[in-house]
A and B are shown apart, each in its own frame.
Chain A
Amino acid sequence: MTTRRNFLASLVAVTASPRLGWAAVGSPAYIAAAQLPDGVHVLVGLDLAGAETFRVPLPARGHAGAAHPAQAEAVVFARRPGYFALVIDAGTGRVLHELMPPKGHQFNGHGVYIDGGATLVTVEQMAEGSAGRIGLWDVASGYTRIDGFATHGIGPHDVRLMPDGRTLVVANGGIETDPTDRTKLNLDTMCPNLAYLGAGGDLLEKVELDQELAQNSIRHLAVASDGRVGFAMQWEGEPGMGWPLLGLHRRGERPVLAEAPLADELAMKGYAGSVAFSADESEIAITSPRGGRLNRFAPDGRFVAAEAREDVCGIAPHPDGFIASDGLGGLIALGCEGARPLARHECAWDNHIVPL
Chain B
Amino acid sequence: MRLAIAFALTVAQALAGPAQAGVNEALDDHILPGFERFAGASADLDAAARADCTAPALAVPFHAAFDAWLAVGDLRLGPSETGALAIAFWPDTRGFTEKTLTGLIQQENPIANDPEAFADLSIAGRGLFAIEMLMFDPDFADYGPESYGCALVRALTADLARQAAALERGWAESFAAVLRSAGAADNARFLSEEEAVRAIYTQILAGLQFTIGSRIGRPMGSFERPRPARAEARRSGRSLTNVLGATEASVMLAEALADWPLPETRAALARVRDTAAAIEDPAFADVDDPAARFRLEVLQQAVAAMASSIETEIGARLGLSAGFNAQDGD
| Known contacts A240-B93, A311-B323, A327-B324; A267 and B81 CB within 8 A of each other | yes
Partner of B325, one of A289, A306, A332: A289
User: Interface size on B (CB < 8 Å)?
Assistant: 33
A263 to B188, Cβ gap below 8 A? no
Segment at the A interface, from B34-42, B195-203, B289-297: B195-203
| Chain B residues in 8 Å Cβ range of A242 | 93-94
A332, closest chain B residue (CB) = B188
Residue A283 interfacial (CB < 8 Å): no
A325, closest chain B residue (CB) = B325
Residue A350 interfacial (CB < 8 Å): yes
| Chain B residues in 8 Å Cβ range of A290 | 323, 326
A344 to B93, Cβ gap below 8 A? no
B189 to A339, Cβ gap below 8 A? yes
| Chain B residues in 8 Å Cβ range of A79 | 328, 330
A310 to B94, Cβ gap below 8 A? no
Query: What CA separation (Å) do A169 and B330 show in the bound complex?
Result: 19
Residue A215 interfacial (CB < 8 Å): no
| Chain A residues in 8 Å Cβ range of B328 | 79, 289, 350-351
| Interface hits, A275-305 → B, CB 8 Å | 289-290, 292-293
| Interface hits, A177-214 → B, CB 8 Å | none
How far is the CB of A191 from the nearest CB of chain B, in Å?
20
Query: What CA separation (Å) do A261 and B122 show in the bound complex?
Result: 9
Residue B75 interfacial (CB < 8 Å): no
Question: Given A240-B91, A266-B85, A328-B198, list of 18 further CB < 8 A pairs?
Answer: A263-B123, A267-B85, A292-B202, A292-B326, A309-B188, A309-B189, A310-B195, A310-B199, A311-B323, A311-B324, A327-B323, A330-B191, A332-B191, A340-B186, A344-B191, A344-B192, A348-B324, A349-B325
| Known contacts A240-B91, A267-B82, A293-B81; A311 and B188 CB within 8 A of each other | no
Residue B283 interfacial (CB < 8 Å): no
Residue B1 interfacial (CB < 8 Å): no
A-B contact pairs, 13 of them (CB 8 A): A219-B330, A234-B329, A239-B93, A289-B324, A306-B82, A309-B189, A310-B198, A310-B199, A311-B323, A311-B324, A327-B323, A330-B191, A344-B192
A241 to B93, Cβ gap below 8 A? yes
| Chain B residues in 8 Å Cβ range of A338 | 188
Encoded as 1 (CB less than 8 Å from any A CB) or 0, chain B from 170 to 193 comes to 000000000000000111110110
| Chain A residues in 8 Å Cβ range of B71 | none
| Chain B residues in 8 Å Cβ range of A263 | 82-83, 85-86, 123
Query: What CA separation (Å) do A327 and B198 show in the bound complex?
Result: 12
| Interface hits, B184-229 → A, CB 8 Å | 185-189, 191-192, 195, 198-199, 202
B83, closest chain A residue (CB) = A263
| Chain A residues in 8 Å Cβ range of B85 | 262-263, 266-267
B184, closest chain A residue (CB) = A341
Residue B124 interfacial (CB < 8 Å): yes
B82 to A264, Cβ gap below 8 A? yes
How far is the CB of A259 from the nearest CB of chain B, in Å?
13
Query: What CA separation (Å) do A341 and B192 show in the bound complex?
Result: 11
| Chain A residues in 8 Å Cβ range of B187 | 341
Encoded as 1 (CB less than 8 Å from any A CB) or 0, chain B from 143 to 161 comes to 0000000000000000000
| Known contacts A262-B122, A340-B186; A310 and B324 CB within 8 A of each other | no
